[in-house]
Amino acid sequence: MTDTLTIRCFGQLTDILGSARLEVPITNDSEELMHLLLKEYPLLKTTRFIVSVDRKVIREKTVLTPGSEIALLPPFSGG
Amino acid sequence: MILQGEQLFHQGAIPAGKLADYIQQWGGDHSTGAFASFLGQVRADLVNNEPVTAIEYTAYETMAEEKMQEIATGVQQQYGLNALQVKHSLGLVRSGEICLMVITASAHRKAAIEGCNELVERVKKELPIWGKEITGSANHQWKINQ
């Protein structure tokens, strides 16, 4: 069992954070995770993004496990 | 005939000839009376008075593929399409090159045209893809969809 969560970042977030992956200690749910991320990476407050867990956008508090695939997604700009 | 196991993503610019290939391939279905298509091309917008020379596309590929399947199934059922295909570029696409191709086939024109339009709108709005607009002086800004 790993005790960290790996979070993938995309688009302009890779410029803002200087990395496509963040590692943070595991949290119980997505609300705790956001609280931790905004504290550890205050630059995240400067841009808009949504969160996905296991490749689905989440809108509500979601339980996380060590295997959860978490990503921070800035506004999409395909096409 | 939805996506037929083909990948959503195409590395670099999409050759215009691909459109003809699909029409040729799907023409064998004689219940089809209409094809509709949309091709998106990288436009040389001005960014800080410099023209965009290319867009570099990145994506959350696994999520985009899953979402595309969901969208394709929904649109196919809603409009009763005989076939549809969506291709989107990854990596560098220069101004004047094609970055998005959407094709639909149906019995009548209305379903083909409206289904094609809905696919384009949903691809731009719902797929986790990002475009970085690159200008001549090696500067860039992240594209914003209107």
Q: Which residue has the higher pLDDT, B3 or B52?
A: B52
CATH number of this structure's domain B3-142 = 3.90.1170.40
- Across the interface, whether the CB atoms of B88 and A73 are under 8 A apart is answered no
The model's pLDDT over A45-61, given as tens digits with 9 standing for 90+, comes to 999 999 999 999 999 99
User: Chain A closest CA to B144's CA: distance in Å?
Assistant: 6
Report yes or no: B118 and B79 within 8 Å, Cβ to Cβ: yes
User: What pLDDT digit, counting tens, does each position of B90-143 carry?
Assistant: 999 999 999 999 999 999 999 999 999 999 999 999 999 999 999 987 778 889
Report pLDDT digits (tens) over B46-68: 988 999 999 999 999 999 999 99
Q: Give B145's pLDDT tier (boundaries 50, 70, 90).
A: confident
d(CA B143, CA B57): 10
Q: Is B142 within 8 Å of A55 when comparing Cβ atoms?
A: no
Determine the average pLDDT of the residues in A68-76: 97
B106 burial type by CB count under 10 A (0-12 exposed, 13-18 middle, 19+ buried): buried
User: Using the beta-carbon criterion (under 8 Å), do B143 and A76 form an inter-chain contact?
Assistant: no
Q: Which of B42, B70, B143 to mutate to test the interface with A (most CBs of A within 10 A)?
A: B143
Residues from chain B that touch A77, judged by Cβ atoms under 8 A, are 129-131, 142-145
Segment B36-54 mean pLDDT: 95
* Yes or no: domain A4-73 corresponds to CATH 3.10.20.30: yes
Min Cα separation A76/chain B (Å): 6
Rounded to whole angstroms, what are the CA distances from B114 to B17, B72, B134?
A: 23, 13, 33
- Cα angle for residues B128, B62, B75 (degrees, 5° grid): 65
Q: Output the pLDDT for position B141.
A: 87
Write the ipTM: 0.94
Question: Domain map of chain A by residue range?
Answer: 4-73
Give pLDDT, residue B6.
Answer: 83
In this predicted structure, what is the pLDDT of residue A1? Answer: 54
